[in-house]
Amino acid sequence: MVKDNIFINHELQDDIFLNYEGDAWFNRNAKTLGKNLENDFPLKLIDLLNLKPARILEIGAANGYRLAEISHRLGSGTYVAIEPSSKAIEDGQKRFPFIEFRRGLMHDLPLENDEVFDLVIVNFVFHWISRDKLLCSVAELDRVIAEGGYLILGDFLPDVPTKVKYHHLQDEEVFTYKQDYEEIFLSSGLFTRVAQLTFDHDTHSLTPDVSGERRGVVSCLRKNKENLYVTKTFQKNP
């Protein structure tokens, strides 16, 4: 199948969002972005943990509304937004000129190796990523988090890993993948959990008592790749 001169197949799922579905998502949601910040769980974690990062990156930032609110609360700093939708970026550049916008995807971040951040936010992005790009995306994310820096990671948390047909593109091989993404980072031995909130994705209420189909989670992890390991010295046998 061809749409807008793009061949649609599972391997190109990420490109679909870069080339047109990111814009379609923004068009559907633009009027509500930033309208319910009292129930924005990444912001809640920043407040609860009293985080004071100087360099903040958000991946999948839409028009930058969340970064703008963080800037309002924390003041001056470096604010970088990475987003696939050119329409979202155009809107954000007009509204929030102090945010630096870059267009791209998580598996190939448009950031140099010396660009690292004290806080990186990835909220409800991982479930869009095609499985052939998942580990590349994890590696890229790790690359841009400073040692001792924080990752705020939000997504669905079903009882078992779940693959769901993307309902806005029913005629195409596009899926969302819901699973415990925090586990990937914790099992690497490079991150520790600082805090975690679970909530009902439909009602945005904080609660542990929610079915796996509607359960959302947002976690704050800290990168600490050196201090997590216990150093042991082995002596040679006499």
- With bands split at pLDDT 50, 70 and 90, how would you rate the model's confidence at 1? very low
Percent of all residues in the chain with a pLDDT value above 70, rounded to a whole number = 92
- With bands split at pLDDT 50, 70 and 90, how would you rate the model's confidence at 12? confident
> What is the biggest distance separating any 2 CA atoms in the chain, rounded to whole angstroms?
74
Average pLDDT along the chain: 91
* E strands in the chain: 2-3, 6-7, 55-59, 78-83, 100-103, 117-123, 145-156, 162-165, 175-178, 191-200, 205-206, 215-223
Torsion of CA 94, 100, 105, 106, to 10 degrees: -140
d(CA 189, CA 179): 19
d(CA 237, CA 3): 69
Torsion of CA 72, 45, 189, 105, to 10 degrees: -50
Task: Answer yes or no: is pLDDT of 95 > 60.
Answer: yes
Q: What is the pLDDT of residue 227?
A: 65
Residue 189: which H helix or E strand, with range? none
Q: What is the pLDDT of residue 228?
A: 66
Does the domain at 2-223 match CATH 3.40.50.150? Answer given as: yes
The upper half-sphere exposure of residue 40, i.e. CA atoms within 13 Å in the direction of its Cβ, equals 20
DSSP label at residue 11: G
Task: Answer yes or no: is pLDDT of 235 > 80.
Answer: no
- Which ranges of 3-161 does DSSP label H, i.e. alpha helix? 13-16, 22-29, 41-48, 65-74, 86-95, 134-144
d(CA 143, CA 123): 18
Dump pLDDT digits (tens) for 173-223. Answer: 889 999 999 999 999 999 999 999 999 999 989 888 899 999 999 999 999
Task: Answer yes or no: is pLDDT of 6 > 50.
Answer: no
Cβ burial, residue 65 (10 Å; 0-12/13-18/19+): buried
Task: Answer yes or no: is pLDDT of 8 > 80.
Answer: no
Global pTM reads 0.91
Interacting residues of 86 by C-beta distance below 8 A, sequence separation 6+: 22, 23, 103
Domain ranges of the chain: 2-223
Dump pLDDT digits (tens) for 15-44. Answer: 899 999 999 999 999 999 999 898 899 999
Do residues 107 and 45 make contact, with C-beta atoms less than 8 angstroms apart? no
Q: What is the pLDDT of residue 194?
A: 97
Task: Answer yes or no: is pLDDT of 100 > 80.
Answer: yes
Task: Answer yes or no: is pLDDT of 168 > 50.
Answer: yes
- For the chain, the distance separating the N- and C-terminal CA atoms, rounded to the nearest angstrom, is 71
